[in-house]
Amino acid sequence: MKINQISVVFFSATGRTRRAAEQVASALPLAADWLDITPHAADGLARSFGPDELVVWAAPVYGGRLALQAAQRFARLKGKQTPAVLLAVFGNRDYDDALLEMQDIAQAAGFVPFACAAPVAEHSLMPGIAAGRPDEQDAQQLADFARGLWQTLQQAPAAADLRVPAVKGKRPYKDYPSIPFKPAASQACVQCGVCARACPAGAIPLEHPNQTDKTRCLSCMRCVSVCPQGARSVNKLLLAAAGKAFALKFGARKEPEFFIGR
Ligand SMILES: Cc1cc2nc3c(=O)[nH]c(=O)nc-3n(C[C@H](O)[C@H](O)[C@H](O)COP(=O)(O)O)c2cc1C
């Protein structure tokens, strides 16, 4: 089948998911349009895609699930038997039900998620886990995946001929765990509002950017990574203790997983 347009719709709080998506997109033969659904302002966004388009969906795994705001924003996309590539990017622990959840949302929205992957990226919360990933080896595997899915598209007469692969995961999906790391602003905060505008959850009030609504906060670390003053952080002692235990259990390298429907 002929593809006339490639789009990448991505949620990436600290940029690692975006990097994995770039490694896939750069091995595809058409330049992609990039649609960022990370900020809170993307909440009302709706987009429709046709059957001659390819849409790459990319989001991080939080607590073995698809990041909640990503799930809600993906559900507003509309496909018309549109081929889709799904990337659930995880931080070397596990992706549990996240890829299955993404696949369910994509199918309900009219997409055919014939190519799915769980790439590994540096953990955005636990320091030092999968540091530097996706690395060269990941990049090669992601590029091979991109070439393989493109070949599958070329060989299929129409989207109806694409198969949706079985992926890991269970329904009902696991519950979101509560995550105790909520970033706070220090005295260095100049209330510029960069974090408030970037926050995916609307957890930082624009009129008081030195505050955090902990009930809304996802612990995604976006505010920490975008703050120009380095004024936002989580409790370092708590994080260091949790990080040590985490590294013992999940420090060993894991490999990305790939599924193409055949
Ligand atoms: C709140 C939170 C929960 C996470 N949960 C998981 C998880 O369950 N399994 C895992 O392997 N990585 C987990 N991670 C790591 C991220 O999935 C991973 O680092 C991802 O690449 C971050 O993408 P981003 O930089 O685009 O935000 C979690 C990260 C955060 C911030």
Tens-place pLDDT, residues 109-128: 999 999 999 999 999 999 89
> Which amino acid residue places its CA nearest to atom 3 of ligand 1?
62
Q: Which residue, among 13, 11, 14, 32, has the nearest Cα to 22 in the 3D structure?
A: 32
Mapped onto helix, strand or coil, the DSSP state of residue 44 is: helix
The finding on whether 13 has its CB within 6 A of some atom of ligand 1 is yes
The finding on whether 125 has its CB within 6 A of some atom of ligand 1 is yes
Rounded to whole angstroms, how far apart are CA atoms 262 and 255? 22
**What secondary structure letter does DSSP report for 174?**
P
Could you tell me the residue ranges of all domains in the chain?
5-172+253-260, 184-234
- For residue 130, which atom of ligand 1 is closest to its CA? 19
The finding on whether 92 has its CB within 6 A of some atom of ligand 1 is yes
Q: How confident is the model at residue 214 (pLDDT cuts 50, 70, 90)?
A: very high
Looking at residue 97, its pLDDT comes to: 98
41 pLDDT more than 90: yes
Q: What is the pLDDT of residues 157-176, one digit of tens each?
A: 999 999 999 999 999 999 99
Between the CA of 158 and the centroid of ligand 1 the distance, in Å, is 35
- CA separation, residue 219 to residues 4, 41, 50, 235 (Å): 38, 18, 35, 12
Q: What is the CATH number assigned to the segment(s) 5-172+253-260?
A: 3.40.50.360
The finding on whether 141 has its CB within 6 A of some atom of ligand 1 is no
Residue ranges of the alpha helices (H) in 156-204? Answer: 194-198
Most informative mutation of 90, 122, 220 for ligand 1 (most atoms within 8 A of CB):
90
Mapped onto helix, strand or coil, the DSSP state of residue 51 is: coil
Rounded to whole angstroms, how far apart are CA atoms 36 and 151? 27
Q: Which residues contact 215 (CB under 8 A, 6 or more apart)?
A: none
The finding on whether 123 has its CB within 6 A of some atom of ligand 1 is yes
Between the CA of 61 and the centroid of ligand 1 the distance, in Å, is 5
Percent of the chain with pLDDT over 70: 100
Rounded to whole angstroms, how far apart are CA atoms 99 and 85? 11
Q: Side-chain half-sphere of 139: how many Cα atoms within 13 Å?
A: 10
Residues in the chain: 262
Q: What are phi and psi of 195, to 5 degrees?
A: -65, -40
Q: Which residues contact 107 (CB under 8 A, 6 or more apart)?
A: 113, 164
* More confident site: 238 or 258: 258
Q: Which residue, among 214, 225, 224, has the nearest Cα to 185 in the 3D structure?
A: 224
Q: Which amino acid is at 160?
A: A
- CA separation, residue 29 to residues 3, 10, 22, 232 (Å): 10, 19, 13, 40
The finding on whether 69 has its CB within 6 A of some atom of ligand 1 is no
Output the six-digit token pair for 78.
């509309």
262 pLDDT more than 90: no
Q: What is the mean pLDDT of the chain?
A: 97
Strand partners for 47: 77
Rounded to whole angstroms, how far apart are CA atoms 172 and 74? 19
- For residue 129, which atom of ligand 1 is closest to its CA? 19
> Which amino acid residue places its CA nearest to atom 31 of ligand 1?
220
Average pLDDT over residues 40-49: 95
- For residue 10, which atom of ligand 1 is closest to its CA? 26
Average pLDDT over residues 181-206: 97
207 pLDDT more than 90: yes
Between the CA of 2 and the centroid of ligand 1 the distance, in Å, is 35
The finding on whether 246 has its CB within 6 A of some atom of ligand 1 is no
Mapped onto helix, strand or coil, the DSSP state of residue 55 is: strand
Q: What is the pLDDT of residues 68-116, one digit of tens each?
A: 999 999 999 999 999 999 999 999 999 999 999 999 999 999 999 999 9
- For residue 179, which atom of ligand 1 is closest to its CA? 1
**What secondary structure letter does DSSP report for 75?**
T
Looking at residue 230, its pLDDT comes to: 97
> Which amino acid residue places its CA nearest to atom 6 of ligand 1?
62
Average pLDDT over residues 129-150: 98
Average pLDDT over residues 125-138: 96
Q: May I ask the CATH class of domain 184-234?
A: alpha beta
Looking at residue 28, its pLDDT comes to: 98
Same fold, 5-172+253-260 and 184-234: no
